[in-house]
Structure 1
Amino acid sequence: MLRIVIADDELPIREWLNYCLKDKKDCLEIVGTASDGWQAYELAVKEKPDVVIMDIRMPKMDGITAMKNIKKVLPQTEFVILTNYAEFSYAKQAISCGAKEYILKSELRSSELIQILEKIEEGRYAQHDRQKVNDRLERAAKKTLPEYAGDHPENNKFIEKALNYIHEHFNEAISLADVAGQVYRSPEYFSRLFKEVTGENFSVYLINYRLIQAKSLLINTDLKITEIAYRVGYQNPSYFSRLYKKYLGITPEEERRKSATKAK
């Protein structure tokens, strides 16, 4: 459920937005309304909303300033900006500062607003799911075999050997059959055993181990992305970039820019 704050100095607009969203109370909750930018800031800090729908021009604190101040405290909060034609340049500025969408007040439609909010919710769920998967797979890739403790020490021994082989040869064109051969097991049996002991499919484990190594290279070296792709076992840099985006949520280029920004 999205928690929403509405901020607009015009009472009819606030009431209309409330009316538009009232039938969506099973998936949306309006946690408060504000009539000026300072009130919007205080309300957001108190209620920690997922989304703020905010007029770009308000007394006491304009919408862009309020958004920037809220972002400092609540970086995950999304913003939908309301604007007039005369303020279109401000709307573009709001987008550059992190607003998700802007809507011209003269064209404000409940269906458009609800679509925007649904899109935001879908994006937040996708980001949350990616983060959970990423965290889980990073933990798995960093585990040592004793941490895969189970009821079958003999099986753990085979998987330990398999993991050691993966970690030493991840930059090569290795396959399930190759690794299964290293532990003298059939590919079918090894596949089941690997999933049973590690909790991950072999292919997913290998992809994520490679991508974790790639992430380290992106952050800690100046190697070109093409070279990094080769170093972690991918001969097709475009395919590597697509995998990186799919599993980690951002492109390699975005990862490098993000780390460079943090380092400043």
Structure 2
Amino acid sequence: MKIMVVDDEAPIRRWFSATIRKLSDEYQVTGSYAMAKEALAAIEKDIPDVVITDIRMPGMDGIELMKYARQRWPEIEFVILTNYAEFTYAKQAVAYGAVQYFLKSEVCENEIRDVLERISTGMAYKKQGDRAYLAPEIKERDWQQTAKGWGIDQDAVCGVLAFENFAGNIRQLLDRASAQYENARTFQNQGILYLFLWNNQGSLIGYGGMTELTHLVLEKEKQNKLSVGIASGTGTLQNAWQVVQQAEHALSYRFFEPDAGVYRYDQLKRQGTRTAEEIRAEYRDILERMACWSYQKLREKTDLLLKKAGLIQVDETAGSIDVCKRLALLLEEKGFQKCPDNPAQADLSARELKDIRECRQLCMDFIAQMEEADAPSNIKAVREAVRYIQDHYQEDISLSDLAKLSCLSPEYFCRLFKEETKETFGVYLMSYRLRRARELLRTTDMKINAVAASVGYSTAGYFSKIYKKYFGITPEQEKIKE
């Protein structure tokens, strides 16, 4: 694993470089740089797996370096170095995808070892998952050379059927089914079988005939869940190559409509309403949500992205599918980081994500897993918040203040607080203040307005109103009663 260290303090750079080299022979420090721009130039020449960078540096800072580098090389993992005064910057860095941040004054060798081991494991899992969407494609020049050998003229009319999930005898079926056409060839590439039809006379090879041919094959091949993408066009060899790609685009819609059979390019072209850039924007929004791990929001945003991904324009399906799978792999990686000893990790990591349904299931599984893993520490955070309320109930306390103290989002903190105390934050604070007020009314000679102020209410009138609503009697009656 190749690692780069970027910090304007030479002692920090030397210590990190020496520590990393000492941890494992598998860790190679490829560079140590004082300036982010120097590091960026070095990345251009030799892309590292991990960049450990300071936040505050002259010129370009560490967050700018990370944002720029991840746009061009999203596979690079970043670890951020920070001081106490820069904590908000560290949280921002996590929102942009940093794996970890270290406080310079406290970081130790074991922490570095742990994070590098997690990154190394995550990289291994990503390599397994990448097979699902980084398969190589036939190059246009190679295809045209082959097509010329078939005798295709410049003005040929052509149609393409792209088959996925086909059995071994499908070629014989296609040979018989395509006998009505003068010219037909099959070729295979990365799990897809193509039937290429052409007519040098210019007579049309239309969608209707190809759809009939497809249904004939599907009828014969009932035992297989065949998926077929169909496209048709006319013109030069270059246009013929575009028809091959259009058939692929149509077939890729199977990802969003699991178990469906036939996809016609002409019909799908009218259905798409989203662009790949809109889907990527949704993905970036989810990355920002991960900074505070608001699980409910994360779950909602993930579900929304996966729904919008299926509305993609037909020529941009590859980008949308890529985002869906990257999201699933990202959540898987984060889940592993939170639960490194989970025995289910290996099985889940080995799965190939074939459709949107599997992506959704994997994402939700890992969000639930991470939420469960955080539960003990989050319960502790709520209990600390309760103690804070009991110590500071006289002061102006807000839900957002307590959420910040707990390093949780307000929405998630609110839900956890209610689950642990059986009351909402507002009800709990009011109840605690009024119980303390009743104690003062019963045991002291303090006036009503003084009691109200001592438990956090600025006006005696409002205090009396909610006191009566809560206890059924006024503060004055409470004093008389005692």
Q: TM-score range by the shorter chain?
A: 0.5 to 0.7
In structure 2, what is the equivalent of residue 100 of structure 1? 99
Residues 17, 32 of structure 2: 8 Å contact kept: no
In structure 1, what is the equivalent of residue 310 of structure 2? 220
Cα distance in 2 for partners of 1:253, 1:23 equals: 37
Give the 5 Å matches for 1:82-231.
82-132=81-131, 142-145=164-167, 160-163=221-224, 166-167=225-226, 213-214=257-258, 218=307, 219-221=309-311
In structure 2, what is the equivalent of residue 9 of structure 1? 8
Cα distance in 1 for partners of 2:170, 2:13 equals: 55
1:148 and 1:78, CA in 2 relative to 1: closer, same or farther beyond 3 A? Answer: farther
Cα distance in 2 for partners of 1:63, 1:77 equals: 14
Cα distance in 1 for partners of 2:2, 2:259 equals: 33
In structure 2, what is the equivalent of residue 56 of structure 1? 55
Residues 3, 29 of structure 1: 8 Å contact kept: yes
Residues 211, 244 of structure 1: 8 Å contact kept: no
Residues 81, 91 of structure 1: 8 Å contact kept: yes
Length-normalised TM-score, structure 1: 0.58
1:214 and 1:100, CA in 2 relative to 1: closer, same or farther beyond 3 A? Answer: farther
In structure 2, what is the equivalent of residue 200 of structure 1? none
Alpha-carbon offset, residue 50 of structure 1: 0.6
Number of paired residues? 183
Alpha-carbon offset, residue 72 of structure 1: 2.0
Cα distance in 2 for partners of 1:144, 1:17 equals: 53
1:26 and 1:244, CA in 2 relative to 1: closer, same or farther beyond 3 A? Answer: closer
Alpha-carbon offset, residue 47 of structure 1: 1.4
- CA deviation map 1:187-236 (0-9, x unaligned): xxxxxxxxxxxxxxxxxxxxxxx9774499943249xxxxxxxxxxxxxx
Alpha-carbon offset, residue 143 of structure 1: 4.2
Length-normalised TM-score, structure 2: 0.33
1:54 and 1:247, CA in 2 relative to 1: closer, same or farther beyond 3 A? Answer: same
Structure 2 SS opposite 1:54: strand
Establish whether residue 251 from structure 1 lines up as the match of residue 312 from structure 2.
no
Question: For structure 2, which runs of at least 5 residues remain unmatched after alignment?
Answer: 136-162, 172-219, 228-253, 261-305, 313-343, 365-482
Query: Larger relative CO (CA 8 A, sep 6+): 1 or 2?
Result: 1
Letter in 2 for 1:220: G
Letter in 1 for 2:2: R
1:253 and 1:161, CA in 2 relative to 1: closer, same or farther beyond 3 A? Answer: closer
Cα distance in 2 for partners of 1:215, 1:20 equals: 52
- CA deviation map 1:129-161 (0-9, x unaligned): 12225678xxxx814335877xxxxxxxxx944
Question: For structure 1, which runs of at least 5 residues remain unmatched after alignment?
Answer: 150-158, 169-209, 223-241, 256-264
Q: CA RMSD in A?
A: 3.9
In structure 1, what is the equivalent of residue 322 of structure 2? none
Establish whether residue 47 from structure 1 lines up as the match of residue 46 from structure 2.
yes
Higher helix proportion: 1
Residues 164, 226 of structure 2: 8 Å contact kept: no
